[in-house]
């Protein structure tokens, strides 16, 4: 008798009759999940390509879930609750950053064997990635055109596009705690990408100069920096993985590929939180 059998038999309470009970597979709908990896070619490595993107989309779903909850928590001034959610987002980000290391085991020669089967499908079209950008405050109007094919997705994106992002509600929290914030910033058009403002920079600088007096706001600021830092690492690893596999070819979705990915590396979601580090 093997050790495994001895161990199993010693656990007398283990359930084995699931004819009328929910199983692990039922709860997770594994039949649906595990049957979703449908290769369009016979190439062995296409399975890697599909699974990496499926896993990343699941993590993006959780990032959106946690970030939206953090926004609501900050709006009701429950900053402590938001810290837990944003800390979880940062941990999730480490997972999707490391996913690029797995995808980078795909060589250019291997990818070229099945790339044409993708047609114009591209990660550039990931609506969940766009949702993450929107909830963080980066709004790009031309992106919405990609999703007109799916009215339900387009509506979800449009709502997030017009709603205040994570940084907007953080700035509103600064105002509620007595900091003088430019009224135009507090009542700005949230469909526009946020631009650096001197009143916001001054407020964050005061928070960092007197941490004990503004401990919750200081913690919020550092959680935001954690999220942006990880997001930029994700963007960088994305760019380098693409460059490693296809060089400077155009993306399947028509983007400039590496060129586009390099440009977005220069964008900051929370610009004042980075600027004040020079001033302190």
Q: At what angle do helices 271-279 and 198-209 cross, to 10 degrees?
A: 60
**Inter-residue contact 251 to 257 (CB < 8 Å):** yes
Is 52 known as a binding-site position? yes
Instruction: State the SS3 of 186-254.
Output: HCCCCCCCCCCCHHHHHHHHHHHHCCCCCHHHHHHHHHHHHHHHHHHHHHHHHHHHHHHHHCCCCCCCC
Is 51 known as a binding-site position? yes
Is 177 known as a binding-site position? no
Is 49 known as a binding-site position? yes
Is 14 known as a binding-site position? no
Q: How does DSSP assign 64-106, residue by residue?
A: HHHHHHHHHHHHTT-HHHHHHHHHHHHHHHHHHHHHHHHHTTS
Is 114 known as a binding-site position? no
Is 252 known as a binding-site position? yes
Is 181 known as a binding-site position? no
Q: What is the tally of helices (H) and strands (E) in the chain?
A: 14, 0
Is 248 known as a binding-site position? no
Binding residues for heme: 238
Binding residues: 49-53, 111, 115, 238, 252
Binding residues for substrate: 49-53, 111, 115, 252
């Amino acid at each position: 008798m093997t050790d495994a059998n001895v161990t199993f038999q010693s656990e007398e309470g283990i359930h084995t009759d699931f004819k009328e009970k929910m199983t692990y597979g039922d709860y997770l709908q594994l039949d649906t999940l595990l049957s979703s990896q449908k290769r369009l070619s016979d190439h062995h490595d296409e399975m890697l390509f599909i699974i990496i993107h499926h896993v990343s989309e699941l993590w993006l779903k959780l990032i959106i879930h946690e970030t939206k909850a953090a926004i609501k928590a900050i709006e009701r001034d429950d900053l402590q609750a938001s810290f837990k959610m944003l800390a979880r987002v940062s941990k999730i980000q480490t997972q999707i950053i490391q996913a690029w290391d797995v995808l980078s085991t795909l060589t250019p020669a291997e990818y070229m064997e099945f790339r044409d089967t993708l047609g114009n499908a591209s990660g550039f079209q990931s609506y969940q990635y766009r949702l993450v950008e929107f909830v963080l405050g980066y709004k790009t109007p031309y992106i919405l055109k990609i999703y007109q094919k799916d009215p339900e997705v387009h509506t979800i994106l449009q709502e997030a596009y017009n709603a205040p992002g994570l940084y907007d509600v953080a700035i509103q929290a600064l105002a509620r705690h007595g900091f003088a914030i430019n009224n135009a910033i507090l009542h700005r058009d949230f469909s526009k990408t946020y631009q650096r403002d001197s009143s916001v920079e001054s407020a964050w600088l005061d928070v960092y100069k007197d941490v004990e007096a503004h401990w919750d706001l200081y913690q919020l600021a550092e959680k935001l920096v954690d999220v942006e830092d990880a997001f930029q690492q994700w963007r960088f690893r994305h760019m380098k993985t693409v460059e490693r596999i296809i060089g400077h070819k155009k993306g399947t979705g028509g983007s400039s590929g590496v060129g586009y990915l390099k440009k977005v590396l220069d964008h900051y979601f929370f610009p004042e939180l980075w600027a004040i580090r020079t001033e302190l």
